[in-house]
Chain A
């Protein structure tokens, strides 16, 4: 297979192991209890098994037990890892004096924590092993595991494939001469970014921590907010080459088991070489892959994931990705912000109305301007019509061309502002908005009123809390511009009708995207507006949680005349 032979895929044995472990999640469980058996087993993959081509010539070498002979193990590992060409894979020989055994450590430099290797492994083995010498005829690995290595996670492995998987994860393997097993020791310690503020979902009063690229940190950020043993963090690996760790989070006893099973089924049946991040997963598992509207919620905020889990949703965290996914998701989630719950409900509702207006402005404002200026001038009040006509007097382009020029320019500025280093990014925005806009008006390329229209549209699109939804709207806006250019308001109506049909047809993990509006479900006070927290007693029903009740009937029990006597004994859901 060309120049990438042997470098692009994990050995077959490792792949099989990953697959096998996925079918038994407790093997890689990141949580504190084994996963209950749920859902259908992954379907047989087409073209899987022996039909897959062999890219890696080390399959046979990996698919074997650990040898008793130290040299043989060493030779095999050097062969598998192409040492010494592979410079970050290290083998460190060790002499365990008190046990009079030769041994070696296998680890990957940069993925391990040196202090842990030095203090938890090398130092006890080389200098403190005499303390364990009195164990007599106890098995050597037992002595090392129980008496020498002061590490929280030391596992005895007899299969070379399992050892390799651990080493590739950043752990260290200890091979001892004369032993047909190896110890894998938790030494993960690669460099990672620390928890920082969210960059795209900023709030004023809410929490200010965001996910990082480390799956363990991310799961901990969620667990810190949901201190219950019912929080399940099930693990699996996806990607034949990347072996990317995925964590599925849900609240056992609350999330609908069928939903959890469906999420697992979709993830387990993925057969792909590499997972680059949560974006890949999102695209692989969504119901309508050609849809323009996102069907999962991508968020960088752990508090948001925790809030959704508490409603019965399922979260997916992908290693190496600072964005978690939440499924299923509905339309209203895209205009909600964690900020809504940090401020009092009238203000939260007001902000939602603003965002809702912003949503329509983002989608329709330039198109409406075209429709009015081109087809329905009679609608514009006379004074305003004269003003627009005067401002367009020297502009040579027709209105649609003018709008497209401005919109494309603005999208360029926005894209440049995103890609350019943070220090000069804002400067680019100012340069683009002020200088280019002003220059374009002075050069009579665009009319001043259009600059206002585009500016309001840009502001509106920034008010959409979810970046993915914002992107969708920006793209749809160009469609609206096209339809309004051809057919005015009737074209806009046609476009909205098409969009409406698309939206009501969409599903996210079987949940209609427009729930609970269409199909209509009993009124929830947390859809377009946000009701007072004490009145939002029920969880959204479209997720079909096992327990619908979010709060007791009298949350503010202290405010009742018979304060103190208030209990939870209200009617069941």
Chain B
């Protein structure tokens, strides 16, 4: 399946956009508001865009190794030991992002929609969806991403439009919030979340049309940035910054306010229904990419036997630590900056090693093969 699966352009766009936009299920906005007050959206914008130049450099490196992706390039440049170690960190980043999204999303469901169902059951349902998709392979995930992506966007658009009447326009001021330091902190944390764009160089060998990979990746990134900034702006405008800091589940909070006339006053379930798909897709990609990295690192012939192991790891990671606030704090304050830092470190290291270990033209019997 690893050898045969390919994803199309639109599927890649949906993949990147879903992976990068899924942070809106997390209470990151609340954290950003605490750090930069009314300028939370700036942190989102800067943090999400700052990863793009790094991605370009990664892609530039990967393209110098025909037929290979970031995982293979890392193994080739950093050697079998350090290379595998780095690839495992890549896998961990994707797995942890899936786990944190899954944990917070299911916490939201448990607190807003189905409070009597244990969190472990919600998370098990979630894990089952992701596991099946990861087991099915990259093509089904890609196609389903593309199929469900419009519903995700439409549900968000409706959410934003139907909250216009709650907007307090002055909430965006002062423009720079608590100041540049807060914005910079938020940006680094946001950039840590956008490290998921590494999916582009990792999945590069599996793209059906590699020539347009950069264009498609950028489109996915821009879509996710627009989604992130709009949600943040609206959240801050609907719940003024002082109040927004205390709201743990921004999207759910916004959904609770949506009314369709006086007849339908609680339609948050409908939104959650669609977000479930987006979140499950994000989990599927996370599991698949983690699987891919692991199997490539150890040169395993098939990825399916590893899927259950990854699902168990996902399940365990999602419950670390036990308290949701601590879990999110750990990720925002530690793992996200670490992810971004590691991305930068990996980039520097790989480019530093490149002059010494660059691929040489294959020579066979004195004839250079093209």
Contact = CB atoms under 8 A, between A and B. Distances in A.
Nearest to B267: A379
B113 A518 contact: no
A517 B140 CA distance: 13
B264 interface: yes
B318 to A, nearest CB: 16
Contacts of A487: 114, 117, 121, 125
Contacts of B10: 520
Contact of B144 (A489, A492, A500): A500
B273 A504 contact: no
Contacts of B267: 379
Contact of B129 (A376, A498, A504): A498
A492 B148 CA distance: 15
B204 interface: no
A375 B140 CA distance: 31
Contacts of B11: 518-520
Interface residues of A, number: 26
Interface in A477-493: 487-493
B236 to A, nearest CB: 27
A490 B280 CA distance: 11
A498 B117 CA distance: 21
Given A381-B263, A381-B264, A498-B129, A519 B273 contact: no
Nearest to A504: B143
Given A375-B114, A497-B280, A519-B8, A490 B144 contact: no
A441 B264 CA distance: 28
A191 interface: no
A378 interface: yes
Contacts of B114: 375, 487-488, 490
A505 interface: yes
B143 A512 contact: yes
A254 B13 CA distance: 34
A514 B147 contact: yes
Q: Is the interface of B mostly helix, strand, loop or mixed?
A: helix
Given A490-B113, A490-B276, A514 B143 contact: yes
Given A376-B113, A381-B265, A489 B143 contact: no
Interface string B252-282: 0000000000011111011011001100100
A492 B133 contact: no
B146 A518 contact: yes
B122 interface: yes
A518 B266 contact: no
A424 interface: no
A359 to B, nearest CB: 15
Contacts of A505: 136-137, 139-140
Contacts of B128: 494
Top 3 closest A-B pairs, CB basis?
A518-B143, A504-B143, A493-B276
12 contacts: A375-B114, A379-B269, A381-B264, A490-B109, A490-B276, A494-B276, A497-B144, A500-B144, A500-B148, A504-B140, A504-B147, A520-B11
Interface of A: 375-376, 378-379, 381, 487-494, 496-498, 500-501, 504-505, 512, 514, 517-520
Given A501-B136, A501-B144, 13 more contacts: A379-B270, A487-B117, A488-B114, A490-B125, A490-B272, A491-B125, A492-B273, A493-B276, A493-B277, A494-B129, A497-B132, A518-B144, A519-B11
Interface of B: 8, 10-11, 109, 113-114, 117, 121-122, 125, 128-129, 132-133, 136-137, 139-140, 143-144, 146-148, 263-267, 269-270, 272-273, 276-277, 280
